[in-house]
Amino acid sequence: MNLEQLRSFVEVARSGHFTRAAAQLHLAQPSLSRQISALESDLGATLFHRARGNITLTAAGESLLPLAMRMLADAETVRFEMQELAGLRTGRVRLGATPTLCISLVAEVLTAFHAAHPGIELHLTESGSRGLLDELAGGTLDLALITTAEDGAAPTASLRRVPLLSEELVVVASASSDLLDGVESLSLAQLAELPQLTFHESYELRATTMQAFQAAGLVPHIVLEGAEMDAVLRCVERGLGVAVVPAMVMVDRPGLRSVRLTAPRLARSISLAHRNDVALTRAAHAMQSLIIETADILSSVNVGTDSLISRR
């Protein structure tokens, strides 16, 4: 028994005529008759009373009709759902990203992705890079946008990393404060003398800056420690102090001004990671392509040798 046989059976039952049913199904009448005969043989029951010009259902046929209609409807539902998934009209993407990327790159990506594929469920996890890699390895994420110190270690062999951007760290202050007046760049020693806000220990950014201070034998003047990204930026905008942040954070932040950090220059790498042993779904693959495309656009905003954001 197959779907074509059931479809033929239902059409004959509906029309009460083999010739009309064959025309409706775009079949030759002998082919339709063979399908019905094969179905009756498979089921071991006669489905139609065949009288010249009068085709009616037997008791077996009447029992089969609602079942056949339900089976055909279920098959159509399955076909539609598969077409929806293949066409990126349904599905799910579980994306993880660090807090600094959530307020910059990720916001751009999710807005564009939802506009293009509104039926795809989006799940966003915000965490530090180490936590994101653990979740990725555990199968709770499809993709993770991670950051490492420039030339930092790649994920484990079970994970694949796609390098996206190299981004300088800059010093930011309130646009209305005088903390950076007349300053075009800062050395680490000069930064250490300014009131500074630092991030939570889970931030790779905090580890990078603290290691730089320690390597230079400097002790920074910290006025707020252990805050999350949004809290740090809000406090900086209100003039509490300065902070070291990725250059990307400055996009659409008129309340902040920034200067470059030199001697030494600090930078980080942004990568997109996913598991090597699990194939990306069509939806996750589309998300990956959009992230790479958006990274290309961001890297083209600042061009030249002094660009703060560059393609890896």
Quote the mean pLDDT of the chain.
88
Per residue in 13-26, pLDDT tens?
Answer: 999 999 999 999 99
Please say if the pLDDT value at position 6 is more than 90: yes
Q: What is the CATH T-level fold of the domain 3-86, as seen in this structure?
A: Arc Repressor Mutant, subunit A (1.10.10)
Q: Yes or no: is domain 91-311 CATH 3.30.420.40? A: no
DSSP 8-state symbol, 242: B
End-to-end Cα spacing for the chain: 57
Ordered alpha helix ranges (H), the chain: 3-15, 18-25, 29-43, 59-86, 99-102, 105-116, 129-137, 188-192, 204-215, 229-237, 282-301
Pair type for strands 91-97 and 159-174: unpaired
**Bridge partners of residue 94, in order along the sequence:** 123
Question: Among residues of the chain, what percentage have pLDDT more than 90?
Answer: 57
Q: How confident is the model at residue 139 (pLDDT cuts 50, 70, 90)?
A: confident
Please say if the pLDDT value at position 299 is more than 80: no
Residue 250: predicted pLDDT: 84
Q: How confident is the model at residue 203 (pLDDT cuts 50, 70, 90)?
A: confident
Q: Which residues contact 189 (CB under 8 A, 6 or more apart)?
A: 216, 218, 263
Per residue in 265-279, pLDDT tens?
Answer: 898 899 999 998 888
Look up residue 228 and give its two tokens: 């999350």
Per residue in 207-221, pLDDT tens?
Answer: 889 999 999 999 999
Give residue 119's identity as a one-letter amino acid code: G
**Bridge partners of residue 181, in order along the sequence:** none
Q: How confident is the model at residue 238 (pLDDT cuts 50, 70, 90)?
A: very high
Rounding to the nearest 10 degrees, give the CA dihedral for residues 54, 55, 56, 57.
Answer: 170
Please say if the pLDDT value at position 222 is more than 50: yes
Please say if the pLDDT value at position 154 is more than 60: no
Look up residue 157 and give its two tokens: 């062999």
Residue 13: predicted pLDDT: 94
Q: How confident is the model at residue 150 (pLDDT cuts 50, 70, 90)?
A: low
Q: Matching CATH topology for 3-86 and 91-311?
A: no
Per residue in 102-133, pLDDT tens?
Answer: 888 899 999 999 999 998 999 999 988 888 99
Where along the chain do its domains lie? 3-86, 91-311
pTM over 0.85: no
Residue 281: predicted pLDDT: 86
